[in-house]
């Protein structure tokens, strides 16, 4: 095998990569050693800002295959025929901790999926829970601040976590999910994924439907107890990364079956609760799961930094036949995600290989900026319209328009007849077995009992009592017992 030649960044061969240039034997290092300076300067700049949330992640490539006809609901080309396959990239992640955190922790998991479709990239950015803690994006920075490391102590503080939840009764449903048995997945392969938000599908006839995505793991749901997770995190800080990498390397390709719930758009206004409220699920008895296809992961990235850390997912990356809904949290994310990537990776992050479309042609008037690689040819114009056969609009909307009415202002979320912050949390509690309830109560009490302010504890207990009388009673007794020890 021919020996490859080590070069500098400019391509010049390197004569000596073991010794720095000095002024005589043992003398001081010389400024003229450009190879040394280049190596040190590049090393200092190897890291980019980590994500504020979802910093610690793992990823894999795969494909999505349509198994059922859904053309009655959407004209999206990648869903247009049974058997059609589309290349995908997925990024799993924890939410609250930093890049150096452990995988096996009690935290929601990100489930971000990029479809490299023939009509452009479609990004579906969800979690492993069907609901979330808040329903309005204006509260998101405050929520994340309360869950991240405290500015003074440098660690996650129960006082901050539970104080925020005390002032956010709508979080009770998600708190019940998080503190229950599914709060710590055994691996990324053994958890479900959800679009969480409500999205809009539009068919070829222009009919609009609201949908929710459910990716059901074909490996079966498996979770860890708090004790098992603590032990695993101590043995392998990267346990979920290790599991995913090794499973795919040995050919045990994980898969999920995609189902959707479909609501005709006309039914949304009179539904018994707000169908665009991210803190609520749609009961399957109202809108049953309908199978769409199968997601399979079959290839590991060759470089974690280039393909996992630089992967950029934006909920505003839609394709014809799919669009947003009036979900306020979704609408906030349409801006926030893309803006986060522009900060971390630069305005041209969409040109990075992991983010660039595979078959669709990108043709627009975006120019220049940091790391620009696609600036057009000599005679290409950078304005529109023009007389030089530049790309032009199609006049075909990606999705159906959303109706609006009323006055501008900072309005509270619209109330439907059965809107309530606690009912679905209580329903989730009542679905649990006695053993599951016991573990849920113990997990909540373990954190809530560490809160130093009695009024914060009482506010949170009020939420659990409102969800279910037995739920509240058991949490209250467990907290009291721990605080008396």
d(CA 415, CA 273): 7
Backbone φ and ψ for 136, nearest 5 degrees, come out as: -135, 130
**Residue 258, CA distances (Å) to 178, 247, 261, 334, 469 in order:** 23, 21, 10, 23, 36
Tokens standing for 304? 């974690």
Cα 344 to chain center, whole Å? 16
35, 121, 127, 349: which is the annotated catalytic residue?
A: 127
- Cα separation of 121 and 118, whole Å? 8
Tokens representing 389? Answer: 């056969």
Catalytic residue, from 17, 19, 35, 54: name it: 54
Contact yes or no for 204/75 (Cβ under 8 A): yes
Distance, CA of 39 to CA of 6 (rounded, Å): 13
Burial state string for 363-398 with b = 16 or more CB within 10 A and e = fewer than 16: eeeeeeeeeeeeeeeeeeeeeeeeeeebeeeeeeeb
* Contact assessment for residue 96 and residue 110, using Cβ atoms and an 8 Å cutoff: no
54 is catalytic: yes
User: Do residues 282 and 326 lie in contact, with contact meaning Cβ atoms separated by under 8 Å?
Assistant: no
Alpha helices in 136-224 (DSSP H): 140-147, 158-166, 172-179
Q: Is 66 exposed, middle or buried (0-12, 13-18, 19+ CB in 10 A)?
A: buried
> CA geometry: angle at 135 spanning 226 and 417, to 5°?
115
Angle, helix 140-147 to helix 328-345, in steps of 10 degrees:
70
| Residue pair 242/104 in contact by the 8 Å Cβ criterion | no
Label residue 7 exposed, middle or buried (CB < 10 Å: 0-12, 13-18, 19+). Answer: exposed
Distance, in Å, from the CA atom of 68 to the CA atom of 300, rounded to the nearest integer, reads 28
Told to judge if 160 belongs to the known catalytic residues of this protein, a careful annotator would answer no
Q: Which residues are catalytic?
A: 54, 127
């Amino acid at each position: 095998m021919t020996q490859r030649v080590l070069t500098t960044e400019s391509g010049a061969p390197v004569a000596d990569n073991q010794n720095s240039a000095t002024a005589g034997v043992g003398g001081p290092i010389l400024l003229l050693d450009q190879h040394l300076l280049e190596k040190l300067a590049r090393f200092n700049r190897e890291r980019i800002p980590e994500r504020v949330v979802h910093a610690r992640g793992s990823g894999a490539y795969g494909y999505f295959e349509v198994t059922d006809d859904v053309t009655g609901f959407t004209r999206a080309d990648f869903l247009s025929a049974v058997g059609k396959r589309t290349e995908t990239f997925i990024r799993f992640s924890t939410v609250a901790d930093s890049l150096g955190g452990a995988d096996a922790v009690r935290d929601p998991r990100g489930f971000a999926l990029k479809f490299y479709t023939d009509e452009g990239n479609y990004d579906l950015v969800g979690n492993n829970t069907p609901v979330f803690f808040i329903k309005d994006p204006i509260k998101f920075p405050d929520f994340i601040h309360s869950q991240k490391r405290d500015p003074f102590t440098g660690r996650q503080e129960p006082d901050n976590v539970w104080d925020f939840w005390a002032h956010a009764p709508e979080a009770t449903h998600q708190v019940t999910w998080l503190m229950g048995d599914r709060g710590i997945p055994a691996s990324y392969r053994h958890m479900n994924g959800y679009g969480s938000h409500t999205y809009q599908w539009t068919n070829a006839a222009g009919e609009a439907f609201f949908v929710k995505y459910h990716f059901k793991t074909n490996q079966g749901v498996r979770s860890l107890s708090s004790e098992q997770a603590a032990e695993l995190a101590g043995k392998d800080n990267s346990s979920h990364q290790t599991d995913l990498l090794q499973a795919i390397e040995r050919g045990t390709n994980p898969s999920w079956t995609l189902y959707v719930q479909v609501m005709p758009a006309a039914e949304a206004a009179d539904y018994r609760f707000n169908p665009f409220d991210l803190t609520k699920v749609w009961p399957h008895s109202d809108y049953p799961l309908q199978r769409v296809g199968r997601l399979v992961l079959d290839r590991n990235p060759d470089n974690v930094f280039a393909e996992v850390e630089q992967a950029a997912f934006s909920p505003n990356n839609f394709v014809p036949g799919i669009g947003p809904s009036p979900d306020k949290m979704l609408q906030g994310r349409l801006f926030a995600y893309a803006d986060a990537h522009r900060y971390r990776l630069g305005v041209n992050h969409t040109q990075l290989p992991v983010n660039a479309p595979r078959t669709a042609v990108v043709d627009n008037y975006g120019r220049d900026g940091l790391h620009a690689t696609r600036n057009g040819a000599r005679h290409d114009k950078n304005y529109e319209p023009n007389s030089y056969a530049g790309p032009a609009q199609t006049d075909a909307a990606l999705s159906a328009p959303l109706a609006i009415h009323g006055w501008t202002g900072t309005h509270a979320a619209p109330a439907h007849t059965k809107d309530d912050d606690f009912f679905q949390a209580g329903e989730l509690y009542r679905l649990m077995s006695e053993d599951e309830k016991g573990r849920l109560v113990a997990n909540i009490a373990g954190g809530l009992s560490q809160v130093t302010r009695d009024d914060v504890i009482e506010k949170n207990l009020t939420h659990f009592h409102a969800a279910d009388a037995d739920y509240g009673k058991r949490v209250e007794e467990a907290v009291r017992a721990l605080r008396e020890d």
